[in-house]
Structure 1
Amino acid sequence: MKTNAARILEQQQVPYELLTYDVDPQDLAAERAADKLGLPYEQVFKTLVVRGDCSGVCFAVIPANARLDLKALAKMSDNKKVETVPLKEVQSLTGYIRGGVTALGSKKPYPVFLDISATQFNSIAVSAGKRGHMLMVSPTTYQITVQGTIGAITHKLC
């Protein structure tokens, strides 16, 4: 089953691969998606919804095994401070539920910030807009498609 995000890539003639995996609604961690897909945590990217004090809502796309560096993202996004959006607001802002958030096809075209670590791979896995669905896509192509900014926005977890 194709998702809206996959359709957007097709409309823009962006090559991608749609991957699926079984979802445990009690464990939506990006690391579980990586495990089920047999991919390294560093190659699977989660999309976080954040809000800056000046610029408003934006997406931070970071590796499964990393933690968002709020100060680095604030600086990159021209904010004094950013914070993650409460889960109860995510669906109304993006149109997506937790575990299926993607910058592709969001309700509004919020700014996207992609962690620089994505550039070490030929392809990365990003959410396809539905739980259990991921898109394998070139990080450069993804960055161009979402009109994202690339930069160092994470702390690596142990």
Structure 2
Amino acid sequence: MAKKFKTNALRMLDKAKIPYSIKEYEYDEEHLDGRHVASQVDMDPNAIFKTLVLHDHHNEHLVCCVPVLEEIDLKKLAKLAGRKSVEMIHQKDLLSVTGYMRGGCSPVGMKKQFPTYIDESILKVDEVAFSAGKRGYQMIVNVQQILTYLNVEVGDIIRK
């Protein structure tokens, strides 16, 4: 059983009455990547999504989520988002922009709600795992409920 804790992400899901479960996993500073998470969480890696924070040429932020073993296609994301170009924000800026640190960034409960884009492969699964807002914890939620809650745009944004 996972320890009793609440992050902004979990408090927001509670408030929205969206059910979730928690999967805890081991990590360290050397093992924060998606491949490690997939090896630790007993789920199909295609149902575990990482959260990436980017900015456009006007320094406006946006969020995207892709399966943990996939890479984002910046050109596809820019086109879907109607931006000239996008790039990842600097890791040192992640905490101040989102309220989350690397390895614990969730699309739910950021300091500010940014436009959010999720790869269309999410539609192939019923449940999806995202970071629960703290390293070592994944929240598992119903795909349709989380897509509606986050008000996201779904499209092809992974590198083929």
Match of 2:128 in 1: 124
Deviation at 1:22, TM superposition (A): 1.4
Give the aligned residue type for 2:156.
Answer: A
The partner residue of 1:40 within 44, 50, 64 is: 44
* Pairs aligned (count): 156
What fraction of aligned residue pairs are identical, expressed as a percent? 33
Aligned to 2:140: 136
Cα shift at 1:17: 0.8
- For residues 120 and 133 of structure 1, the distance between their equivalents in structure 2, rounded to whole angstroms, comes to 23
d(CA) in 2 for partners of 1:105 and 1:73? 22
Q: Do the aligned partners of 2:7 and 2:132 also contact (CA within 8 Å) in 1?
A: yes
1:84 partnered with 2:88:
yes
Aligned twin of 1:153: 157
In the alignment, the residues of structure 2 paired with residue 151 and residue 54 of structure 1 have an alpha-carbon distance, to the nearest angstrom, of 23
Distance in 1 (CA, whole Å) between partners of 2:75 and 2:159 is 11
Provide the TM-score with structure 1 as the length reference. Answer: 0.94
Shift of 1:128: 0.6
In the TM superposition, residue 53 of structure 1 has moved relative to its aligned partner by 2.1
Distance 1:151 1:140 in 2: 15
1:21 is aligned to 25
Q: Is the 8 A contact 2:130 2:139 kept in 1?
A: yes
Show CA shifts across 1:71-130 (max 9, x none): 111011110100011101111100100000112110111111011001100101001100
Name stretches of at least 5 consecutive residues in structure 2 with no aligned partner: none
Q: What residue identity is the alignment partner of 1:136?
A: I
Contact 1:116–1:150 (CA<8 Å) still a contact in 2? yes
SS in 2 for 1:10: helix
Shift of 1:54: 4.7
Q: Work out whether residues 8 and 110 of structure 2, in 8 Å CA contact, stay in contact via their aligned partners in 1.
A: no
Note the residue ranges of structure 1 that are not aligned, 5 or more in a row: none
Q: Please name the residue that 2:55 is paired with.
A: 51
TM-score by length of 2: 0.93
Which residue in the other structure is 2:74 paired with? 70
Structure 1 segments, 4+ long, off by >4 Å, are none
SS of the aligned residue for 2:100 comes to coil
SS at match of 2:113: coil
